[in-house]
Amino acid sequence: MLELYDPGSEAAWLRSFRFAVEVRPRFCETDALGHVSNTVYTTYWELARLRYLEAIGEADDAPKRVLAFSHMTVEITTRMLRPCFYDEPLLVHARIAALGRSSMTMEHALTATGVDEIRAVARIAVVASDGETAIPWTRGQRTQLAAFEGRTL
């Protein structure tokens, strides 16, 4: 089971995130019970991950590509803790948990806006890619990611 923080340390874990994007679930994203469908959470993680990388911007020494920090998602693990509902203002938090040679592990948290109640969490592995193969993160990319996170990666 996915556990990204020790029980009782949710607030401290949430404070470790330096980036979040707001979403408001659309009616079409809910199931027959009025909850946000489990199939939608991955789109929230993707939105936050892409906005996170766009906020950093691409490093000068990075290969020229269409997207900043061009990558492929290779694994997604999600754990839903509490339901989310139509038109409820939510925050999707994103941070880097680990940075490898050509991969990174990101963590996400979904909370209600203004409330430190975690609704869902995710761990996502991505690999830097030129569209066909894995390529290492550049020195500039590593520097920008560490600076944005405010810590060594």
Q: Which amino acid would we find at residue 110?
A: L
The answer, yes or no, to whether residue 141 has pLDDT greater than 70, is yes
Which pTM value belongs to this model? Answer: 0.92
pLDDT tens sequence across 45-89: 999 999 999 899 877 887 766 565 778 899 999 999 999 999 999
pLDDT tens sequence across 126-137: 999 887 889 899
Residues 117-141, mean pLDDT to the nearest whole number: 92
Domain ranges for the chain, please list them: 10-149
Q: Fold for 10-149, please state it.
A: Thiol Ester Dehydrase; Chain A (3.10.129)
User: Where residue 112 falls among pLDDT bands split at 50, 70, 90?
Assistant: very high
Residue 66 is predicted with a pLDDT of 54
Residue 29 is predicted with a pLDDT of 97
Per-position DSSP letters for 34-98, written without gaps between them: SBBPTTTHHHHHHHHHHHHHHHH---TTSPP-SSTT-EEEEEEEEEE-S--BTT--EEEEEEEEE
Q: How many whole angstroms separate alpha carbon 119 and alpha carbon 70?
A: 29
Residue 120 is predicted with a pLDDT of 97
Q: How many whole angstroms separate alpha carbon 143 and alpha carbon 33?
A: 45
